[in-house]
Amino acid sequence: MEKPVSAFVPNFLLGVAGGIQYLKLKKASRNPRKASEQTLRGILTYAKDTEYGKEHHFAEILEAKTDEELYALYQKYVPAQDYENLRPYIDRHKNGEANILFPGKPIMYATTSGTTKEPKWIPITKVYMDTVYGKMTKVWLFNFIKNKPKVFTGKIVSIVGKVIEGYAPDGTVFGSVSGVTQRDCPKFVKKLYASPADVFSITDYTARYYTIMRMGIERNITLIVTANPSTIVEMQNNVNEYYDSYVEDIEKGTLNASLNISKEIRDAIQPYLKPNPERAAELRALKEKYGRVLPKHYWPNMQILNTWKCGNTKVYLDKFKDSFPETMLHQEFGYFSSECRFGLVLDDTNNTVLFPHMHYYEFIEEKDLESENPKFLQLHELKEGKRYCPFVTTYAGLYRYNMNDLLEVGPSFENTPTVHMIQKVNGIVSMTGEKLHERQFIEAVHEAEEALKMPVRFFVGFADLDISAYHFYYEFADLATTQEQAEQFTKKVDEILQQINIEYKAKRESFRVKDPVTHRLQKESFETFKAQCIAEGARDGQFKMNLLMQDEKRHAKFKKLVIE
């Protein structure tokens, strides 16, 4: 294996650039009430002359004398909202109009799944890119050094999306924010990546994982960054299947010719590949010694693994437990989405430190989520141990935007509460980032009914984290429907879901969400289920049921109603 290199240059430069921004974060966090007011005033001032700002009285709101008056006016004139409320404004930006949600036009869009067929196009402004994805990325890298000073003595494996996936009608690019973050990271860090960005343009996921791991396993990797821990599972699955082929490629300096990779991408990757018989011999020896070769064997100097550890990810973490070196830090990636980089995790806990000097945050307590007029709380009002749904206002055109997440408050950083993810809310299920909405599942079943002429009396779906798949249950109008016919129905539902949810499609194609499992239900299955719930104490008049859930207690009841 290649020898560790000196980390003096990245440690020094990041210590300066990241250290300065870290001190600014600490200063803002000492007084979250003051920072929140200043940030909201800053965002409103920035956007007050835009169409949205004029429609929603930003200039009048800014006349408030106190923070309480400011927040009251903001809530009065700007409704809490989701993406569909903002879509008409964003569509105008996409078609070339400027000064709609913010001054000028976005420099790019991040795309992610919405609750309808149309994906969300999240605008990213230059201000937001330069601050949140610029300055705070330096804090993130600086933080790696603080926790593990040797983290940059080797190479980095980072799994990100394509920088450019396409173009809006006006020519503005849309793509991956994580890809842009990697592209725009400091040059001395960029040199440490084990593979070029071209690998993320490989459309076949088996070939993509193969190429990333073939190039990574050759090197002395000390840092892995990938939000989804399910990606680590799939990477190791690829190692298990193709290890001998990696070794042969490394020995010869080649990339398996049978892989589904375009000539253009192969030509871009080839300069990074040189014959390395010494490393090939080391890898063969590892297999002879251990049989199943794990990251702790081929990457013994690993310093940090950075993935999500909160919410639904525990089942994936269990799958690679004890696979990495004991001295490695497995650090939580932090609460982060396409809409908003909410903050950073700075230690070995799961708690995300927020950016009160860059975002304006509001929260509704969990117990008030179903209220018609919920009370919105400010950042400094949160209580440790309690759970809230966050709403965010940013310098990128999101105003009182409902994140549809349930967060739990942890200990404070300075005087600002930290948070960690618990789960999605409002009918959204997400095992590994697919964000599948109940509405989409209902739509897919109805379209399958129409397409296949197979009416369904009742249906329900459950996420199964243990197998990373959905169970779909149907009570067909024709109870003589066979299991084979039911499975064809599920294939159609799955096909439609991939058409209407880009995140679900990506997770299915990358094997992070497996094929859905089909079950036929007995006659009057819903009625039987409801009667059981009422018998256990549920109130008939208040009985509610989602049709897509992650709920093992309810799932267990439906397992007993299946036609064998």
Q: Which residue has the tokens 């990757």?
A: 269
- Of 107-111, 123-127, 360-364, 370-374, which gets the smallest average pLDDT? 370-374
pLDDT tens figures, 238-293: 999 999 999 999 999 999 999 999 999 999 999 999 999 999 999 999 999 999 99
pLDDT tens figures, 482-518: 999 999 999 999 999 999 999 999 999 999 999 999 9
Percent of the chain with pLDDT over 70: 99
233: region left, alpha or beta (phi > 0 left; psi from -120 to 50 alpha)? alpha
Give pLDDT, residue 541.
46
The answer to whether residue 44 scores a pLDDT higher than 50 is yes
pLDDT tens figures, 508-548: 999 999 999 999 999 999 889 888 887 786 655 445 678 89
Give pLDDT, residue 224.
97
CB 112 within 8 Å of CB 503: yes
| Cα–Cα distances in angstroms (integers) from residue 158 to residues 231, 311, 374, in the given order | 11, 22, 41
The answer to whether residue 294 scores a pLDDT higher than 80 is yes
Rounded mean pLDDT, 462-469: 94
The answer to whether residue 471 scores a pLDDT higher than 90 is yes
pTM for the predicted model, two decimal places: 0.86
Cα-atom radius of gyration of the chain, to the nearest Å? Answer: 25
Percent of the chain with pLDDT over 90: 79
pLDDT tens figures, 199-221: 999 999 999 999 999 999 999 99
The answer to whether residue 234 scores a pLDDT higher than 70 is yes
Q: What is the mean pLDDT of the chain?
A: 93
Rounded mean pLDDT, 185-197: 88
142-156 in b/e burial notation, b at 16+ Cβ within 10 A?
bbbbbebeebbbbbb
pLDDT bucket at 4, cuts 50 / 70 / 90: confident
CB 18 within 8 Å of CB 143: yes
- State the Cα–Cα distance between residues 262 and 327, nearest whole angstrom: 39
Give pLDDT, residue 542.
46
Give pLDDT, residue 537.
67
Structure tokens belonging to residue 235: 């990477």
The answer to whether residue 428 scores a pLDDT higher than 60 is yes
The answer to whether residue 176 scores a pLDDT higher than 90 is no
- State the Cα–Cα distance between residues 346 and 334, nearest whole angstrom: 9
Rounded mean pLDDT, 405-409: 95
Q: What does residue 463 show for φ and ψ, rounded to 5 degrees? A: -80, 135
- State the Cα–Cα distance between residues 542 and 370, nearest whole angstrom: 13
CB 517 within 8 Å of CB 473: no
Q: Say if residue 38 is exposed, middle or buried (CB neighbours under 10 Å; 0-12, 13-18, 19+).
A: middle
- State the Cα–Cα distance between residues 539 and 76, nearest whole angstrom: 36
- DSSP class of residue 134 equals I
Q: Which value, to the nearest 10 degrees, does the dihedral of the CA atoms of residues 396, 399, 400, 406 take?
A: -30
Q: How far apart are the first and last CA of the chain?
A: 55
Compute the Cα dihedral for 255, 257, 262, 266 and give only its sign.
positive
